[in-house]
Amino acid sequence: MEKWVQAFLLHLENKNFSPNTVKSYRADLREFTDYVKKRKVDDLKFFTSAVIRSFLASLPKEDARNTVLRKIAALRSLAAYLMRQGQLTRNPFKLLPAPKRQKLLPKFLTQEEVTRLLDTAANSHFAARDKALFELMYSSGLRRSEITGLKIQDVDFFNGLVKVFGKGSKERLVPVTDAALKAIKDYLACRVNPAPQDALFLNNRGTPLTGDGLAYIFKNMAISAHLARKVTPHSMRHSFATHLLNNGCDLRSLQEMLGHKSLAATQVYTHVSLDKLKSVYQHAHPKNKEN
C-alpha cells in the first residue's frame, strides 16, 4: 500500500496541487498506513469500507470535525486514484457517508489590532523585512503559500500590483497599497544585489522564507504586540477581507482578490463583523431613527 500512496502523492505534485494540500494528505495517509500495518492488513485488498470505518473510529475524540473530513478527503482521493489505476475493483467510499463540514466563522483582527501588529513589525529585529511582509499581507490578503512563493519580479511597482500564483497554479493580479510598495522598496534596498527571480522574502539565514517560518514570525509578532489571541497568516487574510467589506468593497471584487473559485467561499465574510451589522441596523431601523 505504501508504494501506491507514494505514487498517488507524486501524482498530486505533478497535477500542481498546493504544497500545503500535499503535505496534509501525506501526513493523513501516513497515519492510515501506520494503522493498517499494526493490524497486519497492509495490502490494497484490505482497503475496504470496513477498514476505513475502523480507522476513523480509532481517531482521537478531540480531533475537530474538519480535520476528520480532511482525512476522509485524502483517503477518498487515494481510492479514486487506485480505481483509475485498476488497483481497486470496488470504491470503498461508495456506501460510506461523510459527516457534514463544520462551518466556522473566520477569526479576524480589529483595525486597531492590525495597526499594533504593523507598528510592532516596523520596530522588530528584522524591521525592513517584517514591515514589508506585514504591510503586503494586510494590503493584499494573500495566502501563506502565495506570500512565500512571491518573486521580486512579481511586484509591479508602477501599477501597484502583485502577480500571484494561487491554488492550482492559477495566476491573478492583486492591488496593493502605496504603503506596502514603499515598505517593499525599502526592504529591497537593504538586500545585497537582489535579482528579479529571487524570492521576495528571505529568512534570517538569507534563504527563501517558508510557510512554517512565516507562521513563526506571526506568532512572535503577536506576542510582541501584546495581542491576547492566537494570530496566524490566515488571520491577516481574514482581517483584509472583513475590513474591505466593512468599508464598502463588493463581494465579486473581493472574490477576485482572494482567489476564491466560488462566490460562496467569499460570502462567509458577510457574517463575521457584528459591529458592522449593528451599525447598519442602528442606522436603518425606523425605531432607532426616532430617537
* Same domain assignment for residues 63 and 155: no
Please tell me the pTM assigned to this model: 0.67
Which stretches within the chain are classed as H helix? 2-14, 19-38, 49-58, 65-84, 111-121, 127-140, 144-148, 178-190, 211-224, 233-246, 251-258, 263-267, 274-284, 286-290
What pLDDT is recorded for position 96?
73
Dump pLDDT digits (tens) for 89-108: 888 887 776 666 656 566 78
Mean pLDDT (the chain, rounded): 86
Number of domains in the chain: 2
Q: Is residue 98 part of a domain?
A: no
| Residue tagged active-site, from 25, 81, 138, 269 | 269
Q: Cα–Cα distance between 218 and 12 in angstroms, integer?
A: 29
Q: Cα–Cα distance between 287 and 84 in angstroms, integer?
A: 63
Is there a catalytic annotation at residue 172? no
Dump pLDDT digits (tens) for 267-278: 777 765 556 666
2-16, 35-49, 239-253: least confident range: 35-49
Is there a catalytic annotation at residue 278? no
**Is the per-residue pLDDT at 76 higher than 70?**
yes
* Same domain assignment for residues 263 and 179: yes
| Residue tagged active-site, from 107, 167, 182, 276 | 167
Q: Is residue 262 part of a domain?
A: yes
Q: Is residue 178 part of a domain?
A: yes
Check if the beta carbon of residue 197 is closer than 8 Å to that of residue 152.
Answer: yes
Dump pLDDT digits (tens) for 106-121: 678 889 999 999 999 9
Q: Cα–Cα distance between 28 and 76 in angstroms, integer?
A: 12
Report the CATH number that the domain containing residue 115 is assigned in CATH. 1.10.443.10
| Residue tagged active-site, from 116, 129, 143, 144 | 143
Tell me what the mean pLDDT of segment 197-206 comes to. Answer: 95
Dump pLDDT digits (tens) for 61-72: 777 777 888 898
What pLDDT is recorded for position 49?
86
* Same domain assignment for residues 188 and 55: no
What pLDDT is recorded for position 36?
85
Is there a catalytic annotation at residue 269? yes
**Is the per-residue pLDDT at 179 higher than 90?**
yes
Q: Is residue 92 part of a domain?
A: no
* Same domain assignment for residues 52 and 160: no
* Same domain assignment for residues 48 and 122: no
Q: Is residue 255 part of a domain?
A: yes
Domain holding 49, by residue range, is 2-84
Q: Cell numbers of 128, please? A: 525592513
**Is the per-residue pLDDT at 266 higher than 90?**
no
* Same domain assignment for residues 124 and 258: yes
Q: Is residue 290 part of a domain?
A: no
* Same domain assignment for residues 236 and 115: yes
Q: Cell numbers of 82, please? A: 487506485
Report the CATH number that the domain containing residue 39 is assigned in CATH. 1.10.150
Is there a catalytic annotation at residue 234? yes
Q: Is residue 187 part of a domain?
A: yes
Q: Is residue 94 part of a domain?
A: no
What pLDDT is recorded for position 100?
64
Nearest residue to 161 (alpha-carbon basis) of 78, 261, 257: 257
Nearest 5°: phi and psi at 95?
Answer: -115, 25
Percent of the chain with pLDDT over 70: 88
Dump pLDDT digits (tens) for 129-164: 999 999 999 999 999 999 999 999 999 999 999 999
Indicate the residue among 69, 84, 99 that finishes a domain: 84
Is there a catalytic annotation at residue 238? no
* Same domain assignment for residues 67 and 115: no
